Amino acid sequence: MTTSAPHAPSPADREIVNERLIQAPRERVFQAFTNPHVLARWWGPKGFTNTFEECDVRPGGSWRFTMHGPQGMDLRNHNVFLEVQAPERIVIQHLQPVHDFTLTVTLAEQGKATRLTWRMRFATAEEHERMKDFIHGANEQNLDRLEAQLI
């Protein structure tokens, strides 16, 4: 009798990836992620606003804020910046117990534009499966708001 090892989840079983070519220099896009005053203006899906309590953009720095939804809901968030490599990479660990994920944003120069890759890796394949349909569209709205901020 032979047994096989259980199927180990691949990154694709846990990841949601959005990509966008943004018509702005990489340094300017990076600044939109790392300047708390700018970040608060565009972060979140369409219709959301933010109140930042803390935004310490450095490795190990805490980011606490409340997203205010268009229907009056308040969503508390706590994140930690794991990596901040100017102007090419930001890694954020979401600590809120509702969703357990790591967000990696990479910025690559493409002429005068920036190729942004937004990669969310969930802790489990089950959490990914539960959230993937909603999150992919919400990420696109978030990137729409970022682009509008940069115009």
Residue 1 above 60 pLDDT? no
Would the CA dihedral through 106, 80, 64, 134 be positive or negative? Answer: positive
Residue 5 above 60 pLDDT? no
Residue 6 above 80 pLDDT? no
Domain ranges of the chain: 18-150
Measured between alpha carbons, how far is 119 from 151 in angstroms, rounded to an integer? 24
Residue 151 pLDDT level (bands cut at 50, 70, 90):
confident
* Alpha-helical regions (H) of 12-124: 26-34, 36-42
What's the pLDDT at 130? 87
pTM: 0.89
Strand arrangement of the beta sheet that strand 62-68 belongs to = 15-22, 113-122, 101-110, 89-94, 74-85, 62-68, 49-55
Question: Which run of H or of E encompasses 74?
Answer: strand 74-85
Q: Please state the CATH superfamily assignment of the domain spanning residues 18-150 in this structure.
A: START domain (3.30.530.20)
Q: What is the pLDDT of residues 36-66, one digit of tens each?
A: 999 999 999 999 999 999 999 999 999 999 9
Contact indicator for 139, 119 with CB cutoff of 8 Å: no
What's the pLDDT at 12? 74
Measured between alpha carbons, how far is 37 from 52 in angstroms, rounded to an integer? 9
Q: What is the pLDDT of residues 88-141, one digit of tens each?
A: 999 999 986 667 899 999 999 999 999 999 999 998 898 888 888 889 999 999
**Three-state secondary-structure class, residue 12:** helix
**Three-state secondary-structure class, residue 91:** strand
Residue 7 above 70 pLDDT? no
